[in-house]
Each structure stands twice: as structure tokens, then as C-alpha cells.
Amino acid sequence: MDTPRKRVRVRVILAAGVVAAAVAAGLALTGAGFGCWHGQSPGATPAKIVRADLLEGNWEGRWASTSNDMDGKLRCEIRKLDADSYEASFHAQFAKVLTHDSTVTLRARRGPGRWEFEGSKDLGLMSGGVYTYKGRVSGGEFYSTYDSSYDRGEFKMKRAVAASQPATRPGLP
């Protein structure tokens, strides 16, 4: 028996099906959805997804000098250059208002469940001369020591989580 109530129910079910199909098509076209993170979408990697390359990506945390009482916020974007080289662009804050940007090439090697890396960069006489870096990335945590003739200390960072904005070079809007 075809009643008005039955016709309304069928229309609601059909409308819900059309909406669900449209949403699924939109997700497929934009590359969004469940389990399809390939490191290409804007924003940060969801915490539950393990990246194939543990080093590459955006990081944030703090730096601290072991030579003096200075410390501050630290951001870094790491990009793969070739099989064992990465470009690390650091943006460090100190004295709450001053910043310093530096890009360093890191030589990396993969170990069991982690990456180990090292590098050096001459930041100029006014910034402390040649700095050397040595560290590791494991379990979503970045740890590195730095050393120069004027200062030494450490960097401690975790994966940056910025769900609504694309990854940008540190220091740029």
C-alpha cells in the first residue's frame, strides 16, 4: 500500500543517499578522507599516522643553551634533498622578541626506528662562528645538540600540529 508517509520516508532515504554520495565524491576529489594521508595535503600529519620519512616535515619546540641561561621557542622545516641529505630551516626566538633564521644541511642515516643526523654551518662571527649539530629523530621527537666556540646547547622539538594551515617556511607568514 502506497501511503503519503511511506512516500516521504522513501524521499528522505533517497535524499540522504544523494548527500552521502556527494560527500564521498567531494572527499575523493580533494584527496581527503579516511586513511589517505600521503604527506601531500596541507596541514600537519595526524598524530596516529606514522610518516615513512621520520625526519621530513615541520617541527616545533624549544632550544636551550647550556653555556648561559638563554632559551626560547624553536620551529623547523626539514626537507629531503637526496638519499642522505636534508635541509633544515630553523627559526629561533630568544629574549622573547628577537629571532634568528638559519638553514643547515644535515647528513642523516637511518637506524632501527630512528634517524641520526649531523651537520655544521658557519653563522658568521657576530652569531658565534661555526656551529655543529648532532642528533636524532625517534617516536615523533627531534633532539639535537649544538656546539660553537661561544655557545652550546640543545634543541627539543615535536611534530608541528597546525590542522588548518599549509606548511610554510619558518619565519614566513
Give the CATH number for residue 110: 2.40.128.120
Give yes or no: residues 101 and 64 share one domain. Answer: yes
Give yes or no: residues 32 and 79 share one domain. Answer: no
Considering the domain boundaries, does residue 48 fall inside one?
no
What per-residue confidence (pLDDT) applies to 101? 93
114-172 pLDDT, tens per residue? 899 999 999 888 888 999 999 999 989 999 999 999 899 999 999 997 644 444 554 44
Instruction: State which residues form the domain around 154.
Output: 57-159
Per-range mean pLDDT, top range of 17-26, 107-116, 132-141 = 132-141
Give yes or no: residues 5 and 62 share one domain. Answer: no
Number of structural domains in the chain: 2
Considering the domain boundaries, does residue 93 fall inside one?
yes
Q: Is 69 exposed, middle or buried (0-12, 13-18, 19+ CB in 10 A)?
A: exposed
Mean pLDDT of 85-96: 93
What per-residue confidence (pLDDT) applies to 165? 45
The C-alpha cell of 16 is what? 540522504
27, pLDDT greater than 70:
no
3-35 b/e (C-beta count within 10 Å ≥ 16 → b): eeeeeeeeeeeeeeeeeeeeeeeeeeeeeeeee
Give yes or no: residues 100 and 138 share one domain. Answer: yes
Whether residue 154 contacts residue 63, with contact meaning beta carbons closer than 8 Å, is answered with yes
Give yes or no: residues 75 and 4 share one domain. Answer: no
